Amino acid sequence: MEWLNYHHLLYFWMVAKHGSITRASEVLRLAHPTISGQIHRLEEVLGEKLFARSGRNLVLTDSGRIAFRYADEIFALGQEFQDTLKGRGTGQPLRLVVGVSDVIAKSMVHRILEPAFQLKDKVRIVCREARSADAFMGELAVHAIDVVLADAPAGPGTPIRTFSHPLGECGTSFFGASRFARTCRKGFPGSLDDVPVLLPSSDSTFRRALDEWFRSHNIRPEIIAELDDLALASVLGETGLGVLAAPDVIEKELLERHRLQLVGRAKDIRQRFFAISVERKIKNPAVAAICEVARKKIFA
């Protein structure tokens, strides 16, 4: 295991924070060459240049900006650690970093995360989106992300040990503008044959379930667009471009906010949701609240 010299990291952080070696040397009460030498040593260990010259000024490189972000979190956490042990309390909200697979509807994400905001202790939530949960596995491994919300459990090929905590499951409903509701309700689901539809992208878990369902009912819809963002699909559906499928637990929102109408329900298309973490037993109070409310209320 390679060890990072945190004194070197501290000198780099102070220079980046104060904008110059001169100012950092005044704050740290160290000689200019000492700080400069330690930063060069850090760059050698990392194999990356952290600063570049711009006239008389030092500016962060791309690698430097990444290093500064991590250093900021490291030293903030160190201060919080000391304050907690000394019983002073940090006065800072609990920080929860959540990775979100962007195939999950934003309204679903809001419902799932809402319990964290209701905790007695304040929580600051940082959301990061990616095409799939797999994109977050590296950050989970180094604890840069606390939990990942996904529509499938972590795959067997995941390079790190993770635990997929089931949040619940629901059925699927089809929605469309009034003209589709009028023509497609009767004879559903066969009435969807040759009808314009807005579907998730072909590599998503939900899309695979929809394709299998269409095949089992001998339905061949006309695919107008493939959209992972259900909010965008809802807007397009509202304009009358096509019929879309969505989790039935957000039916009320789609009917009221987007003025869509129910075309039909497909209870056998099950959508499952998971909280993926590196903990077998969840200790983070915000993640625990998310899981409990999802199981007892959202998907009950």
Query: At residue 258, what are phi and psi to the nearest 5 degrees?
Result: -100, 0
Count the helix, strand and coil residues of the chain and give each as a percent rounded to the nearest 5. Answer: 45, 25, 30
Topology of the domain comprising 170-270: D-Maltodextrin-Binding Protein; domain 2 (3.40.190)
Single-letter amino acid code for the residue at 184 = C
Rounded to an integer, what distance in angstroms lies between the CA atom of residue 137 and that of residue 281?
18
Evaluate whether 134 touches 156 at the Cβ level (below 8 Å): no
pLDDT at 85: 59
Cis peptide before 200, with omega less than 30 degrees from 0?
no
Rounded to an integer, what distance in angstroms lies between the CA atom of residue 292 and that of residue 280?
15
pLDDT in tens, 7-47: 899 999 988 888 888 888 888 888 888 889 989 999 998 99
Q: Which CATH class is domain 94-168+273-298?
A: alpha beta
pLDDT in tens, 193-212: 999 999 998 888 899 999 99
pLDDT in tens, 127-165: 988 877 888 887 887 777 889 999 888 877 776 788 999
Q: Which part of the chain has CATH 3.40.190.10? A: 94-168+273-298, 170-270
pLDDT in tens, 178-196: 999 999 999 999 999 999 9
Q: Per the structure block, which two tokens stand in for 14?
A: 């102070």
Helix (H) or strand (E) holding 25: helix 21-28
Residue corresponding to tokens 């009028």: 182
CATH 1.10.10.10 fits 6-85, yes or no: yes
Q: Cβ neighbours of residue 262 under 8 Å, at least 6 residues apart?
A: 173, 174, 175, 181, 185, 251, 255
Kindly report the number of other CB atoms within 10 A of residue 187's CB atom. Answer: 11
pLDDT at 291: 94
Q: Which part of the chain has CATH 1.10.10.10? A: 6-85
pLDDT at 92: 66
Point out the least confidently predicted range of 21-30, 40-49, 65-74, 112-121. Answer: 21-30
Alpha helices by DSSP H, 157-271:
178-184, 205-216, 230-238, 251-256
Q: Alpha-carbon Rg of the chain, whole angstroms?
A: 25
Evaluate whether 104 touches 273 at the Cβ level (below 8 Å): yes
Kindly report the number of other CB atoms within 10 A of residue 192's CB atom. Answer: 25
Burial state string for 285-298 with b = 16 or more CB within 10 A and e = fewer than 16: ebbbbbbebbeeeb
pLDDT at 215: 96
pLDDT at 91: 59
CA atoms within 13 A on the CB side of 18: 15
Distance of CA 194 to the CA centre of its chain: 35
pLDDT(226) > 80: yes
pLDDT at 28: 80
